[in-house]
Amino acid sequence: MQDTVVGLAEATHLPSIGTLHARAYHPTREWHRRIFPASIAPWWEKKYALDIADPNCYVLKISSTDSRTTVLGLLSLRKYEADQKGAGRWTSCLPPPEVDRQAYDAMLSSMIECRERFMLGRVHLCIDHFGVDHGYQGRGMGKMLMGRACEIADAERLDVFVQANEFAESFYGNFGFETQEKVVIPPDGVTQCFLIRRAR
Ligand SMILES: CC(C)(COP(=O)(O)OP(=O)(O)OC[C@H]1O[C@@H](n2cnc3c(N)ncnc32)[C@H](O)[C@@H]1OP(=O)(O)O)[C@@H](O)C(=O)NCCC(=O)NCCS
């Protein structure tokens, strides 16, 4: 059974956050299974410990009512300054050797190139990570997390940028995101979409 409230993640949620990527993506996404193996859970924990403490990050979560420290859905938003280059925590907290660095670097390079091309010049938010535990997908948690992220963006009157896998493009479209570009990323040929939701 799930909690229906979106809240901000805290340190007690970190062990569960460490496994969320695998729980959300691995059952259906071979690429994520290969590039981000389940063994890197401690890296996700370390990265999110930094994000939770960072005033420029909103780590939104939905937890289980059965176990409050179990995270069933997560959406993290990072605020970038108008002149801020790079990929934030993705480059300042590099993953361990189990991660395929060639694929990781290719993914980040295209994200950096597109974000800087489309967003430099104005403060904006960027969705860093978004996933719902596979066993709980299709129950409205993704919609609740994205709804809260859009409320934050609207309250701050900020555009939101996201690099999304092509499977989620129509999900973002339902929240007012518009696709700016689609890029086939080497070496595996996965298609990534770059979308923006304009401030309103
Ligand atoms: C994408 C994801 C976060 C959506 O979360 P969810 O809790 O399953 O979504 P919801 O139950 O809130 O569904 C909301 C709506 O989006 C639709 N939807 C769900 N997943 C979708 C997807 N991948 N693409 C398009 N639409 C999707 C649902 O059918 C539902 O439509 P409806 O309102 O017309 O009934 C989740 O399925 C997930 O984690 N997928 C694997 C990881 C991933 O692709 N993350 C996206 C990051 S780029």
SS (H, E, C) the chain: CECCCCEECCHHHHHHHHHHHHHHHCCCCHHHHHHCCHHHHHHHHHHHHHHHCCCCEEEEEEEECCCCCCEEEEEEEEEECCCCCCCCHHHHCCCCCCCCHHHHHHHHHHHHHHHHHHHCCCCEEEEEEEEECHHHCCCCHHHHHHHHHHHHHHHHCCEEEEEEEHHHHHHHHCCCCEEEEEEEECCCCEEEEEEEECCC
Dist. CA 28 → ligand 1 center (Å): 13
Dist. CA 169 → ligand 1 center (Å): 10
194 lines ligand 1 (CB under 6 A): no
Dist. CA 97 → ligand 1 center (Å): 30
**CATH number for the 7-197 domain, one of 3.40.630.30, 3.40.50.2020, 3.50.50.100, 3.40.50.150?**
3.40.630.30
Q: What pLDDT does residue 26 have?
A: 98
pTM: 0.95
pLDDT tens for the chain, residues 1 to 200: 455 799 999 999 999 999 999 999 999 999 999 999 999 999 999 999 999 999 999 999 999 988 899 999 999 999 999 999 999 999 999 999 999 999 999 999 999 999 999 999 999 999 999 999 999 999 999 999 999 999 999 999 999 999 999 989 999 999 999 999 999 998 888 999 999 999 98
